[in-house]
């Protein structure tokens, strides 16, 4: 165990290991109830993550900070977030047929037709619903894909997450600590007519592309639009949400690469197109948007504030 791994990190890793081992062996409804109870307890404590989620939801919905409506929406958001964890522990034991049967998809033809025509696809999505389940659906309808995963701490947790996703049929590249050739690998996959799936609503680093999102400035990853510009792959926004006890996926039409402008201007235009598409999806299913971190530039230390 590395020296910079905290005791808390090790507890979290042990909890995930136990979850993947034990939760599938227990009845689904009682364990789901336990996860809802845990979500309610975390919500009631109103720690930093819950406060940030509430602030983010206030911005996207226009609900008044401190209002009962916003508080209840935040509670629903935490239940949605904990539902995601409950489901990922069960996914490895779920059959592909069940995953496909319980997933209601709008716009699947945008993937199928593009791949059938020999073009690659870049699916870009915000952190909503159960994106791992959506990935499992994609694999089980015939489109194994490549994605990039943040390197979690401790390393044992990261390895378990990678093993979980690879077990569902994904190819997983580490965001950091790999061979440094992620973009080249992703470009190769789509140039060969494959599919790449990438989270795409948050990148506050120097390489992020500034966009307007719910009326304020933030940064989004350059990777998805740059792949479309560089390779000719179709950039498809996707919205993932919960649909009762099942799941929903909305796959939108291709965002066209502008015919004129520099590469940077084209990437900027596509990133803004993703932001606009994500706005609509998040506004439709705000409780399923799992953004417990700062997102807007004026929320950052030294920013303008709200």
The active-site residue out of 54, 87, 110, 201 is 201
**Side-chain half-sphere of 250: how many Cα atoms within 13 Å?**
15
Active site (annotated) includes residue 201: yes
Distance CA 131, CA 135 (A): 6
The active-site residue, picked from 110, 127, 241, 290, is 127
Would residue 110 show up in a list of annotated catalytic residues for this protein? no
Average pLDDT over residues 258-268: 97
Q: Is the pLDDT of residue 1 over 50?
A: no
CA distance 92 to 19: 12
pLDDT band at residue 4 under the 50/70/90 scheme: low
3: pLDDT strictly greater than 50: no
Give SS3 for 26: coil
Average pLDDT over residues 230-253: 98
pLDDT of 191 > 70? The answer is yes
Give CA separation, 45 vs 50, 73, 74, 95, 290, in Å. Answer: 8, 15, 12, 37, 18
From CA 284, how far away is CA 84, in angstroms rounded?
Answer: 18
Q: For 133-176, what is each residue's pLDDT tens digit?
A: 999 999 999 999 999 998 888 888 999 999 999 999 999 999 87
């Amino acid at each position: 165990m590395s020296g910079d791994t905290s005791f808390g990190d090790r507890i979290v890793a042990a909890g995930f290991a136990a979850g993947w081992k034990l939760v599938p062996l227990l009845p689904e409804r009682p364990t789901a109830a336990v996860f809802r109870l845990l979500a309610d307890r975390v919500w009631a404590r109103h720690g930093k993550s819950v406060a940030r989620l509430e602030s983010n939801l206030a911005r996207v919905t226009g609900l008044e900070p401190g209002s009962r409506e916003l508080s209840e929406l935040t509670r629903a958001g935490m239940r949605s977030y904990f539902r995601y964890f409950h489901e990922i522990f069960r996914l490895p034991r779920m059959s592909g047929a069940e995953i496909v049967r319980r997933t209601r998809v709008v716009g699947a033809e945008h993937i199928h037709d593009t791949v059938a025509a020999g073009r690659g696809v870049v699916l870009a999505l915000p952190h909503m619903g159960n994106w791992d389940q959506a990935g499992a659906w994609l694999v089980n309808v015939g489109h194994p894909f490549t994605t990039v995963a943040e390197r979690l701490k401790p390393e044992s947790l990261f390895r378990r997450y990678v093993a979980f996703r690879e077990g569902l049929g994904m190819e997983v590249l580490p965001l950091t600590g790999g061979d440094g050739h992620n973009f080249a690998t992703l470009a190769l996959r789509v140039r060969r007519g494959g599919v790449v799936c990438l989270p795409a609503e948050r990148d506050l680093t120097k390489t992020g592309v500034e966009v307007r999102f719910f009326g304020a400035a933030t940064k989004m990853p350059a990777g998805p639009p740059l792949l479309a510009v560089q390779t000719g792959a179709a950039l498809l926004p996707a919205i993932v949400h919960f649909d009762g006890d099942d799941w929903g996926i909305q796959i939108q039409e291709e965002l066209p690469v502008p015919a004129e402008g520099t590469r940077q201007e084209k990437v900027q235009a596509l990133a803004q197109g993703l932001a606009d598409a994500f706005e609509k999806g998040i506004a439709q299913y705000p409780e399923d948007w799992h953004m417990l971190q700062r997102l807007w530039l004026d929320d950052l230390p030294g920013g303008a504030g709200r």
